Amino acid sequence: MTHSQAPAVVVEGLRVIRGSREVIPGISLTVPRGEVVGLLGPSGGGKTTLLRSIVGVQVVAGGTVTVLGEPAGSPGLRSRVGYVTQSPSVYGDLTVRANLTYFAALAGAPRGAVERTIEAVDLTTDADSPVDRLSGGQCSRVSLGAALVGSPELLILDEPTVGLDPVLRRDIWAMFHRLADDGTTLLVSSHVMDEATRCDRLLLLREGHLLADDTPDGLLARTGAPDAERAFLALIETEEAA
Amino acid sequence: MNPRLTIATAGRVLQQIRADHRTVGLLIVVPVVLIGLLAWIFSGTRVFDNIGAPLLGVFPFVVMFLVTSVTTLRERSSGTLERLLSTPLGKGDFLAGYALAFGALAVVQALVATGFAVWVFGLDVAGPRWLLVVVAVVDAVLGTATGLFVSAFARTEFQAVQFMPAFVLPQFLLCGLLVPRDGLPRALELFSDVLPLSYAVDAMRTLTARVDAAGDVGRDVAIVAAFAVAAIALGSLTLRRRTA
Ligand SMILES: Nc1ncnc2c1ncn2[C@@H]1O[C@H](COP(=O)(O)OP(=O)(O)OP(=O)(O)O)[C@@H](O)[C@H]1O
Ligand SMILES: [Mg+2]
């Protein structure tokens, strides 16, 4: 098996304790390369914690996380993995262009990457406005752009579409799929269930446990539910009954 | 460390400062006003000539300490630091970028403050005047380095501001401005020997009094710079890529 066919992310027996709570009691999963994988689940279920562990910024209590063939957080991964935090983490006092220019420089991105990214996240008319003067949705697109600008092989996106209108959400998801077609792997968290159908695969996370790791169609077939939201509820009910 | 990333970071910090006109104004104007006030208070006496130079060294230290600790704290709380540490940016690049940016700002601040002190308010020093600027800039870098380190222990901007009296005032009391250091009680004199601001003020006092100041000033400046490097090294220990 060649290197490029190995999964993008392999998590084995991951345990995370935050404060005094065991947020992830032991989870194993894989994320295949070149796909858009959705990480869904209720608020407080551990999505951000899992994503942070994959990026390598979370202190973990046990288990292994392998990303693109290397242990999560290895220096060699820092230019290959892009991370968009749940709350926008860009410089509010700088313009959109200045923010992206800085993150492009850190990633060693080629010339032209900044302008291409500004277009991709649809901020051309606001490119010279300070981020503080943008709306919430625009702000989160700047944050998304700051990760896209380095063209990483793996994109970890924590609720990137919060606060976006349906048209923009459709466009952003279309962009995710274009990126995946070009070989980028995307792990995207959301708690909007209707976004589930836009993913190639779904991970359902609840209270640190993996309820499902399946394709959207597989999930519907398995639960007999008409949509992702009801499939998710059905899985919770079965788990609670067991 | 990677010089390209260090310079990119310094450039970004300077862009942020430049976007904040009021802070730039305060950074440049406040030291000038304070020096002018001092000259006025002590007009007709020798006092201004004696303490003017040491204060030219103390102001940039205090101001840069405050500005840096608040700026880096903001970087921690806004999540940008977490993001930066997930990129190829090294901790050393981050810290050196800040030191470089505030150092550059300190050059402007020191040139303006010293220029006003010497040519407008008539500060008279025995040693070479350009050394006033050198000492002031090194003091400013020390302030930045200390601010970077201390910001790790503050959770809010309010706390960061409180560190100013906690870290800076004791140094100010013991640095030799109020009572010459060799006139302090022995225990306090020994304590003042390990405080960086003491050497900053020693350098300025030497400049004030002696024509052949360069050698001793050079030694004191080297000590202050060593403190700054140590603070940056300690600061890099407080930057954690992985957090709970
Ligand atoms: N900094 C922290 N310190 C201690 N506990 C934390 C911290 N952050 C989160 N937790 C706990 O970890 C659990 C999982 O949080 P996490 O942020 O991973 O959930 P999430 O699935 O991303 O939720 P949401 O959809 O609301 O973003 C929560 O119960 C929370 O109480
Ligand atoms: Mg979350």
Q: Looking at ligand 1, which atom is closest to the CA of residue A52?
A: 18
Averaged pLDDT for residues B39-47 = 89
Distance CA B46, CA B122 (A): 11
Q: Between B150 and A129, where is the model more confident?
A: A129
Averaged pLDDT for residues A107-126 = 93
Identify all chain A residues contacting B12, using CB atoms and an 8 Å cutoff: 91, 94, 98, 102
β-sheet bridge partners, residue A130: A95
**Residue whose structure tokens are 């309820």:** A211
pLDDT surpassing 50 at residue B13: yes
Amino acid at B223: I
pLDDT in tens, B119-148: 999 898 898 999 999 999 999 999 999 998
Averaged pLDDT for residues A110-119 = 94
Identify all chain B residues contacting A23, using CB atoms and an 8 Å cutoff: none
Judged by average pLDDT, the poorest of A24-28, A52-56, B167-171 is B167-171
Q: What percentage of chain B has pLDDT greater than the value 90?
A: 54
| Residue B244 banded pLDDT, cuts 50, 70, 90 | confident
DSSP state of A126: G
**CB A57 within 8 Å of CB A73:** yes
Q: Angle at CA A173, nearest 5°, toward A83 and A202?
A: 75
Mean pLDDT of chain B: 91
Contact A105 B85 (CB under 8 A): no
Contact B12 A89 (CB under 8 A): no
Instruction: Write down the pLDDT at residue B162.
Output: 87
C-beta A45 within 6 A of ligand 1: yes
Question: Residue B91 to residues A141, B150, B240: CA-CA distances in angstroms?
Answer: 27, 16, 9
DSSP H/E element including A204: strand A201-206
Amino acid at B135: V
Distance CA A162, CA A47 (A): 15
Test the A interface: residue of B1, B4, B80, B91 with most A CBs within 10 Å: B80
Instruction: Write down the pLDDT at residue B161.
Output: 84
What DSSP assignment string belongs to A54-91?
HHT-B--SEEEEEETTEETT-GGGTTTEEEE-SS--S-
Instruction: Write down the pLDDT at residue A62.
Output: 92
C-beta A162 within 6 A of ligand 1: no
Smallest CA-to-CA distance from A223 within A184, A183, A196, A186 is with A196
pLDDT surpassing 80 at residue A95: yes
pLDDT surpassing 70 at residue B187: yes
DSSP state of A12: E
Q: Between B152 and B41, where is the model more confident?
A: B41
- What lies within 8 Å, CB to CB, of A69 at 6+ separation is A3, A6
Instruction: Write down the pLDDT at residue A150.
Output: 94
Token reading at A238: 């079965």
**CB A240 within 8 Å of CB A216:** no
Of the listed ligands, the closest to the CA of A39 is 1
Q: What percentage of chain A has pLDDT greater than the value 70?
A: 98
Instruction: Write down the pLDDT at residue B154.
Output: 83
Instruction: Write down the pLDDT at residue A4.
Output: 54
pLDDT surpassing 70 at residue A1: no
pLDDT surpassing 90 at residue A130: yes
Distance CA A68, CA A70 (A): 6
How many angstroms separate the CA of residue B173 from the nearest CA in chain A? 37
Distance CA A131, CA B78 (A): 13
How many angstroms separate the CA of residue A160 from the nearest CA in chain B? 15
C-beta A86 within 6 A of ligand 1: yes
Smallest CA-to-CA distance from A59 within B38, B243, B63, B40 is with B243
Test the B interface: residue of A16, A53, A84, A89 with most B CBs within 10 Å: A89
Smallest CA-to-CA distance from B178 within B205, B147, B216, B209 is with B205
β-sheet bridge partners, residue A214: A202
Distance CA A158, CA B48 (A): 59
Instruction: Write down the pLDDT at residue A151.
Output: 93
Q: Euclidean distance between the first and final Cα of chain B, in Å?
A: 26
| Residue A137 banded pLDDT, cuts 50, 70, 90 | confident
**pTM (global) more than 0.80:** yes
Distance CA B55, CA B225 (A): 18
| Residue B167 banded pLDDT, cuts 50, 70, 90 | confident
Q: Euclidean distance between the first and final Cα of chain A, in Å?
A: 39
Q: Could you report the predicted ipTM of this complex, rounded to two decimals?
A: 0.87
Between the CA of A47 and the centroid of ligand 1 the distance, in Å, is 8
| Residue A230 banded pLDDT, cuts 50, 70, 90 | confident
Averaged pLDDT for residues A163-184 = 90
Mean pLDDT of chain A: 91
Judged by average pLDDT, the poorest of A96-100, B75-79, B222-226 is B75-79
Of the listed ligands, the closest to the CA of A207 is 1
Contact B16 A91 (CB under 8 A): yes
Q: Between A239 and B21, where is the model more confident?
A: B21
pLDDT surpassing 80 at residue A176: yes
